[in-house]
Amino acid sequence: MSLTNERIQQRLTEKFGDVLTGFEEPFGMLTFTAQKDYNLKIMQFLFDDEELRFRFLTDVTAVHYPERKGEELAVVYHLHNFVDNVRLRMKVYTPVASPKVFTATSLYQSANWMERETYDFFGIDFVGHPNLIRILNVDEMTYFPMRKEFPLEDPMRTDKDDEMFGRGGHF
């Protein structure tokens, strides 16, 4: 019998109880929020359990919500069970002031670069990561460019002198 979202939710709540909140199913994918100190324990359980078998880490990324005080950064994990072909999404919120989250590199090799990328763009400090350095941006950078306080330039701005940009100024 294939694994259903209800069954996964049931197994997870049995094991972790109040640690997990916000269960929902946007577009059919089971999504929940975990307390950040438990992220590794939950992934370990999802990995080891003979019924759940989430042994493929599809993706790790982060989202910045500046208006959520005390939990500005969300780390999002997408896990996949190849046998039953089920995916799930786990979110962990962490304050931007000390964005410390446990690394998943001990469970999944693939987490290594994906976490480095997440660190590079959002500044999530993955505790226990073997080599947490910038990956796509230059090493000298001191900020984390995907955060919302660094908006891209407004394409509609008019104060720019086009002549300086090779587009001819006057029509």
CA neighbor of 38 nearest in space, from 89, 124, 101: 101
Contact (Cβ atoms closer than 8 angstroms) between residue 33 and residue 92: yes
Q: Using CA atoms, how far apart are residues 9 and 14, in angstroms rounded to an integer?
A: 8
Chain positions contacting other proteins, by CB under 8 A: 26-27, 29, 31, 55-59, 61, 63-64, 76, 78, 82, 85, 87, 89, 108-110, 112-114, 117, 121, 134-138, 145-146, 151-152, 155
User: What is the distance of C-alpha 133 from the center of its chain?
Assistant: 17
Smallest gap from Cβ 83 to other proteins, in A, equals 10
Select 100 or 148, whichever has its Cβ closest to other proteins: 148
Strand partners, 125: 100
Select 127 or 136, whichever has its Cβ closest to other proteins: 136
Q: Using CA atoms, how far apart are residues 157 and 148, in angstroms rounded to an integer?
A: 19
Select 21 or 82, whichever has its Cβ closest to other proteins: 82
Smallest gap from Cβ 104 to other proteins, in A, equals 11
What are 99's two structure tokens?
């964005």
Place of tokens 């002031």: 97
Smallest gap from Cβ 138 to other proteins, in A, equals 8
Select 39 or 112, whichever has its Cβ closest to other proteins: 112
